[in-house]
């Protein structure tokens, strides 16, 4: 089968013919219908992600059709499914309490196992999979795999965002735009920041109440002014020191900061205003992924038409276009994400 393999950091991925995977006893083999291209893939491609090394196959935002099912999989050939990027074991105490995203035995295809930038992918722990709703375009479903699910858990799980509250979103990449769309559907008022005017316009078109150009450096002060004291909830969707500091500084007292962007490489540690956190009595949440039992609530929002995820997918590309998509992330990107939908070329 055809697959895209990382052979050297920052070099084009190699499109290779590799053996078909073996089917796990509690898992399935999927014919990949679509796989999203993500900032996390870029981190892997540049060598900043500890789990991506030469020889790795990335791709963690996928949906597909079951072509083979293990005896304990619970799925049948022909079923169309969508995967969370975290495949939890299902048996440990954390999993049994519903906290699958912190499962110590989790498998993450694309990082800790071969991923879905390939014609087929093995998916162990198939109890994590959700049925792809009838009529949901696979490219849109793949686009949910990481960013929309993460945003849904950040807003509804970690921050417990309420209707009428002010939400600030720092960075309008895929997960930032996802948070915007979902927060609007939850009835929150939303301010986004970015440094790319085209992306700010795009966010306005998706219903942002305010879209601020952060290049002036005073985004936090402007958010406090617009909201009459600060946002109730603020998300850093990038993982950069400037946006994290702005996210903390834009909060009102008792505000909740959610760290969605992954601070990697030399941003893994940074200085933040701890006195401001103390005196503002702020809450800080880290978040990563979504427990799979939340798929029904998220998919219902989409199937019912309350959330339109179509604007998130900007481009449908071929497997051989992946390298160009990753290279483009070295600079400012236009809005929307790319999804690989053609694995034959
Ligand atoms: Zn577990
Ligand atoms: Zn992702």
CA 125 – ligand 1 centroid, Å: 10
What pLDDT sits at residue 1?
97
Using the mean position of ligand 1's atoms as its centre, give its distance from the Cα of residue 331 in Å.
37
* pLDDT of 146 over the 90 cut: no
Distance 30 CA to ligand 1 centre (A): 22
The H or E element spanning position 258 is strand 251-259
What Rg do the C-alpha atoms of the chain give, in angstroms?
Answer: 20
Ligand 1 center to residue 327 CA distance, Å?
35
213 phi and psi angles, rounded to 5 deg: -80, 115
Question: What are 311-331's pLDDT values in tens digits?
Answer: 999 999 999 999 999 999 999
Contacts 24+ apart (CB under 8 A), 205-211: 205/311, 206/177, 206/180, 206/181, 206/311, 207/180, 207/181, 208/180, 211/172
Using CA atoms in the order 195, 198, 200, 203, what is the torsion angle rounded to 10 degrees? -140
Report phi then psi at 269, rounded to 5.
Answer: -125, 145
The predicted pLDDT at position 217 comes to: 87
CA of residue 145 to ligand 2 center, whole Å: 7
Q: Which residues contact 103 (CB under 8 A, 6 or more apart)?
A: 86, 88, 89, 92, 94, 95
Residue 246 CA to residue 227 CA, distance in Å, equals 15
Tell how far the Cα of 185 is from the centroid of ligand 2, in angstroms: 22
Q: Give the confidence band of 111 by pLDDT, cuts at 50, 70, 90.
A: very high
β-pairing, 2-5 with 283-286?
unpaired
Q: At 333, is the pLDDT very low, low, confident or very high (cuts 50, 70, 90)?
A: confident
Ligand nearest to the CA of 90: 1
What the block records as the tokens of 202 is 């795009």
pLDDT number for residue 265: 80
Cα-to-centroid distance, 38 and ligand 2 (Å): 4
Q: Is 243 helix (H, G, I), strand (E, B) or coil?
A: helix
Distance CA 68, CA 49 (A): 31
Tell how far the Cα of 1 is from the centroid of ligand 2, in angstroms: 23
H-helix segments, the chain: 39-45, 93-96, 138-143, 149-152, 174-185, 197-205, 219-226, 241-249, 274-280, 295-303, 322-328
Ligand nearest to C-alpha 98: 1
- Per-residue confidence (pLDDT) for residue 264, from 0 to 100: 82
Of 195-204, 263-272, 280-289, give the lowest mean pLDDT range.
263-272
pLDDT at 145 over 80: no
Tens digit of pLDDT for each residue in 189-203?
Answer: 999 999 999 999 999
C-alpha of residue 109 to centroid of ligand 2, in Å: 11
Pairing of strands 166-170, 189-194: parallel
Distances (CA, A) of 93 to 12, 72, 88, 288: 41, 20, 11, 19
Q: Quick one: which ligand is closest to 147's CA?
A: 2
The span from the first CA to the last CA of the chain, in angstroms, equals: 12
Percent of the chain's residues with pLDDT above 90: 91
Residue 139: exposure state from Cβ atoms within 10 A (0-12, 13-18, ≥19): buried
Q: Please tell me the distance between residue 25's alpha carbon and the centre of ligand 1 in angstroms.
A: 17
In whole numbers, what is the pLDDT of the chain averaged over residues?
A: 96
Cα gap 184→301, rounded to integer Å: 12
- How far apart are the CA of 158 and the centre of ligand 2, in A? 19
Count CB neighbours of 187 within 10 A: 11
pTM: 0.93
| Mean pLDDT of the 249-268 span | 94
Q: Which ligand is nearest to the CA of 291?
A: 1
Total Cβ atoms within 10 A of residue 95: 23
Residue 86 has what pLDDT?
A: 97
**Distance (Å, rounded) from C-alpha 220 to C-alpha 245?**
9
Separation of 108 CA from ligand 1 center, angstroms? 13
């Amino acid at each position: 089968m055809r697959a895209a393999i990382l052979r050297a950091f920052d070099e084009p991925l190699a499109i290779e013919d590799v053996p078909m995977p073996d089917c796990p006893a509690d898992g399935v083999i999927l014919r990949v219908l679509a796989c999203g291209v993500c900032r996390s893939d870029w981190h892997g491609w540049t060598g900043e992600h500890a789990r991506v090394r030469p020889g790795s196959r990335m791709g963690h935002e996928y949906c597909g059709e079951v072509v083979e099912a293990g005896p304990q999989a619970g799925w049948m050939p022909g079923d169309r499914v969508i995967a969370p990027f975290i495949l939890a074991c299902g048996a440990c105490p954390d999993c049994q309490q519903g906290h699958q995203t912190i499962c110590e035995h989790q498998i993450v295809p694309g990082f800790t196992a071969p991923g879905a930038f390939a014609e087929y992918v093995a998916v162990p722990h198939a109890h994590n999979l959700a049925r792809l709703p009838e009529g949901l375009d696979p490219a849109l479903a793949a686009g949910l795999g990481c960013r929309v699910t993460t945003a849904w858990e950040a807003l509804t799980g970690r921050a417990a965002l309420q209707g009428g509250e002010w939400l600030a979103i720092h960075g309008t990449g895929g997960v930032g735009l996802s948070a915007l769309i979902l927060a609007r559907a939850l009835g929150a008022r939303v301010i986004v920041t970015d440094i790319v005017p085209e992306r700010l316009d795009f966010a306005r078109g998706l219903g942002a109440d305010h879209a601020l150009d952060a290049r002036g450096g005073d985004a936090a002060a402007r958010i406090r002014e617009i909201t009459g004291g600060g946002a109730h909830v603020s998300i850093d969707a990038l993982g950069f020191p400037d946006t994290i500091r702005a996210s903390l500084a834009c909060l009102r007292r008792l505000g909740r900061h959610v760290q969605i962007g992954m601070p990697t490489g030399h941003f893994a540690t940074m200085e933040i205003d701890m006195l401001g956190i103390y005196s503002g009595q702020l809450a800080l949440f880290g978040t990563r992924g979504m427990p799979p039992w939340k798929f029904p609530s998220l998919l219902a929002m989409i199937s019912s038409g309350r959330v339109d995820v179509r604007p998130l997918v900007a481009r449908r590309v071929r497997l051989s276009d992946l390298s160009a998509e990753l290279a483009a992330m070295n600079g400012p990107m236009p809005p929307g994400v790319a999804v690989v939908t053609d694995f034959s070329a």
